[in-house]
Structures are given as structure tokens and as C-alpha cells.
Amino acid sequence: MPYEGPEPYVFVSYAHANNDKVYPVIKRLHEMGYRMWYDEGIEAGDKWFKVLSDHLRRSACMLLFWSPEAEKSQWVDKEILIALKNEIRIVGSVIIRTAIPDVLVDVQMLFRENFDSDEAFLDKLCKGLLAEKTKGPEPKPASSPVLEASRKEGWECKVRNDGTRIKDYWGNKSVVEVPNLYRGNQITVIGERAFRPKEVDEEGNAIDKLIHVIILEGIQKIKKGAFRGCKNLTDVTLPASVEAIAEDVFWDNEGDYRRLTFHCSRENRIAIEFATEHKFNIQYTDQEVLV
């Protein structure tokens, strides 16, 4: 929800035609603790421009999402002029390349297409948002459990510029909860071949007891071959935070897909599309129906 309160906040300027590109960024910034106001906070019957201008004048800075649609928007144009007149800091993000007007010549514009990942783009964007003023503590929903990774439990993690990742799992449990925190850092990536079986029996066969893996909220990417060779794996619980699953994550040693069941919410588009493409079962966690 748009922020309403006495604390400093970020005013978001954008064209509604770009909602699909803008709202995910707003959501992520909100999850990081930034106070954001955008025009979904205008109630029916309010005087549109007065509400916009009042909120903009009270803001600490303006986050501008620039695009061909924003270039044609009279509202975005007015918001830019108000910000400049009131010497409000403008942080510019070009989400679809188009000409930059002369009025923004002194504004540093970040081009989304120049960044390899959403994380890198957000990191750069945040550096302009006056975090010392506009950011509060990151919300921690009660429904999202936190599990700290430790070597004692068999986890080997690595902190990198592109996010903290699980490098290896050395345990041998049948049901495993994948942790989402390491030394205070949010774990966002399950690394390549992280869960490959590492122990063998006397005959040289891999010891593999993993049946069900539960990935906690916060994990965003599952890299190449992360669960390759886990021949007994039958169930995978995926959080809403997952943004990308590599093509061969669940291959067996022969390069074939096993018959798996994904447990996820009905809103988890990434998990549902992957499961549908590879003919996995889906069991919805928000309504227990098997399809």
C-alpha cells in the first residue's frame, strides 16, 4: 500500500501503461523497507492533481520511471516540473529506452537494459533514494519463517556481489528446509549442483536420502543442476520469491526429468509455468488441490 504518515518517503512518478514493469520494483523496494507513495493512494472523489502535488512537495525524493509512455503523459510532465521547482531530488530510471528531455539534463538516468540482473539494478537505484531518510526497518512478515544456515547443519554458503548463495549442502536428511539467512545476509540463490549427492556406499553408489526439499521465502534463483542426481527427490516446495529456475535443475544423472510434485501458491507463476512445461504435479499450498 502507498505510504501515508509523517516520515520521509519516496514519491513514484510513472505512466500507468507501464504498471507491469513499475509495480514489481515498488514491491521490492517496499520489502526492503523504503516508504513509497504512488497514485494508488488517491481515494475516489479526491482532487487528483491536488493530491499528487501535495504528496510530491512533501516527499524526500522522486523516483521517475521513464519510458515512451511517460514521455507522453501530462501527469508525469507536471510532476517533473513540480519536483524541479521545489528542488526535490529526482532519481531517474529508464525502463524502456526513449529520448531524455532537456529538462532532465541534470538528472542521472539509470538504464535498466544496462544491468545484468534485477538485483544489480535495484542496488544502483537504491543508492539515490536517500535511504537514511526514506528507509525504515525491512518488514518481516510473520508468515515467512527465517532459518539461519550453519556449517554444523551441513550448509556451505558464499556472499557475493550478486547475492548470498548456498554453495553446497553436506547433510543427508530426507526432508530438508533450505535456509534463507547466512550471517545476517538474505540468501537469494541456490548455487550450481549444491545438492548433488556427495557420499558413496561401499559399492561406490551415491548415498541419497533427499525426498522433499522445502525452499523458504527469500530464495530468488535456483541455478544449473542444483538438485541433479537426487534420484529419490519427489516433492519440492517453492516460495513466491522464486524468480528463475534453471532448465536442468531437476535432471537425474541420465539427463532426464523425474516425476516431481511442486508445492506452491496459485500466485506463483514461475513455479506453475515450469511444472506445466515439464508435466510435474502441482499441489497448491493456498488451496490443497492436486492438478
Residues 53-89 pLDDT 10s: 999 999 999 999 999 999 999 999 999 999 999 999 9
105 has pLDDT over 80: yes
Whose CA is closest to 194, among 222, 231, 214? 222
Please give the average per-residue pLDDT across 182-210, as a whole number.
83
Q: Dihedral sign for Cα 182, 188, 191, 195, please.
A: positive
Give residue 114's pLDDT.
Answer: 93
258 has pLDDT over 80: no
Pick from 20-29, 249-258, 278-287: least confident:
249-258
162 has pLDDT over 50: yes
Whose CA is closest to 79, among 91, 96, 97, 68? 91
Pick from 78-82, 165-169, 219-223, 229-233: least confident:
229-233
Write down the mean pLDDT value for the chain: 85
Please give the average per-residue pLDDT across 200-217, as a whole number.
81
20 has pLDDT over 90: no
Task: Work out the angle between the directed axes of helices 48-58 and 74-85 (0-180°, nearest 10).
Answer: 40
Whose CA is closest to 12, among 40, 37, 48? 37
Greater confidence, 198 or 135?
135
Give residue 45's pLDDT.
Answer: 45
Q: Dihedral sign for Cα 79, 80, 86, 88, please.
A: positive
Whose CA is closest to 63, among 125, 16, 21? 125
Helix (H, G, I), strand (E, B) or coil at 278: coil
Domains along the chain with CATH numbers: 10-134 (3.40.50.10140), 151-284 (3.80.10)
Give residue 41's pLDDT.
Answer: 47
255 has pLDDT over 50: no
Pick from 69-83, 98-112, 242-256: least confident:
242-256
